[in-house]
């Protein structure tokens, strides 16, 4: 089954590379590539994907950098986020699924659940308010982070070291992954929720990596191919990110594999807490921005 998962990811990677490179060369031949410093963009791609491999995520920091530096037009940011970080996330999935021991049934069940959540979530994006989703996830992650800290400090029974789930825990894991897939479509991301899910179900913190990387790797190429066909992304920057981002992934993967369980636990808590605070700030900021026109009209 693991071979089937990796084989499918390989097919996705080949399809993406073929379509992306073909489009890139065609635009380059026309002399219409974006005017950015390729190596500067590559360095940024290596850094954000280094931290993405640690579980921090690459979309939020990439989007912030794009807006701050004005390297990418605002309309092209969603497409660029997906296309630019496509090969790095596939590399992450290959590495962690290969080297981290995880029960195959659990891995497949959670990957399928997360993918189904993303598929359904794509249809809900326009119907549900993103602010409410962010607030709900922020509160839930803060609660989970508190539970994690209590377990690490001995105030509650510690997290486990299981590499798989069975029975009711597997059902809960699939439901949680399904929800994480939905939140991915709202820009919340699935890394922190899956990290929290794995920890609270008594699994080894290292097991979170193949699960969350695999989930993202199955979702992102499909979205990226669509963005490439629509031309709604920054081509030159995306090429730099994909090339140098893989280098950042390889460096970070070696670091993660060499970490102690205690360090990994602390990393998981930090990622979950930071993500929660970030969601709260985004949600509060949007609420404030919505109230400003009302105050002005008065």
Q: Could you list the pLDDT tens digit for every one of the 298 residues in the chain?
A: 788 889 999 999 999 999 999 999 999 999 989 989 999 999 999 999 998 888 777 877 887 788 888 888 878 888 888 899 999 999 999 999 998 888 889 999 988 888 888 777 766 655 666 676 667 667 766 766 776 677 667 665 555 678 889 999 999 999 988 888 777 666 566 777 777 788 788 888 788 888 888 888 887 888 788 888 888 899 999 999 999 999 999 998 888 777 776 776 677 677 777 777 776 777 676 555 554 443 333 4
SS3 annotation, 186-227: CCCCCHHHHHHHHHHCCECHHHHHHHHHHHHHHHHHHHHHHH
Cβ-count burial 158-197 (b if 16+ within 10 Å, e if not):
ebeebebbeeebbeebbebbbbbbbbbbbbbbbbbbbbbb
Residue 187, Ramachandran bin (φ over 0: left; ψ between -120 and 50: alpha; else beta): left
The reported pLDDT for the residue numbered 116 is: 83
For residue 292, what pLDDT is reported? 42
Contacts of 36 (CB under 8 A, 6+ apart): 71, 234, 236, 237, 240
What is the structure's pLDDT at 164?
87
CA–CA gap between residue 11 and residue 168 (Å, rounded):
33
Distance, CA of 35 to CA of 13 (rounded, Å): 27
Q: What are residue 162's DSSP bridge partners?
A: 203
Distance in angstroms (rounded) separating the CA atoms of residues 68 and 65? 5
The residue whose two tokens read 């913190």 is: 205
- Note whether 58 and 51 are within 8 A (CB): yes
Domain ranges of the chain: 2-288
3-state secondary structure at position 72: coil
Q: What is the pTM of this model?
A: 0.74
Q: What backbone phi and psi angles, to 5 degrees, belong to 203? A: -95, 165
Residue 236: count of CB within 10 angstroms of its CB? 19
**Structure tokens, 26:** 């065609």
Identify the burial level of 36 via C-beta atoms within 10 angstroms of its C-beta, where 0-12 means exposed, 13-18 middle and 19 or more buried. Answer: middle
The candidate with the shortest Cα–Cα distance to 170, out of 226, 111, 219, is 111
Q: Cβ distance 122 to 222 under 8 Å?
A: no
Instruction: Enumerate helices (H) and strands (E) in the chain, giving the number of each.
Output: 12, 0
Residues composing the chain: 298
What span, in angstroms and rounded, lies between the C-alpha atoms of 225 and 185?
A: 16
């Amino acid at each position: 089954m693991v071979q089937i998962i990796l084989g499918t990811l390989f097919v996705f990677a080949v399809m993406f590379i073929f379509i992306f490179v073909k489009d890139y060369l065609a635009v380059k031949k026309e002399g219409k590539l974006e005017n950015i410093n390729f190596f500067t963009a590559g360095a940024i791609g290596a850094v954000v994907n280094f931290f993405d491999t640690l579980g921090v995520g690459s979309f939020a920091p990439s989007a912030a950098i794009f807006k701050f530096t004005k390297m990418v037009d605002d309309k092209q940011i969603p497409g660029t986020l997906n296309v630019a970080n496509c090969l790095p996330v596939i590399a992450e999935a290959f590495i962690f699924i290969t080297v981290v021991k995880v029960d195959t049934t659990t891995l497949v069940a959670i990957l399928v659940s997360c993918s189904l959540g993303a598929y359904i979530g794509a249809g809900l994006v326009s119907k549900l308010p993103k602010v409410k989703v962010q607030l709900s996830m922020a509160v839930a992650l803060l609660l989970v982070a508190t539970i994690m800290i209590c377990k690490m400090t001995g105030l509650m029974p510690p997290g486990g070291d299981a590499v798989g789930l069975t029975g009711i825990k597997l059902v809960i894991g699939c439901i949680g992954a399904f929800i994480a897939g939905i939140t991915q479509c709202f820009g919340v991301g699935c890394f922190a929720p899956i990290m929290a899910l794995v920890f609270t179900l008594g699994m080894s913190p290292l097991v979170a990596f193949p699960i969350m990387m695999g989930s993202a790797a199955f979702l992102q190429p499909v979205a990226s191919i669509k963005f490439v066909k629509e031309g709604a992304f920054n081509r030159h920057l995306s090429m730099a990110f994909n090339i140098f981002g893989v280098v950042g992934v390889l460096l970070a993967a070696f670091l993660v594999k060499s970490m102690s369980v205690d360090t990994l636990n602390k990393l998981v808590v930090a990622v979950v807490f930071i993500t929660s605070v970030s969601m709260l700030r985004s949600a509060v900021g949007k609420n404030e921005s919505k109230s400003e026109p009302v105050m002005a009209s008065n």
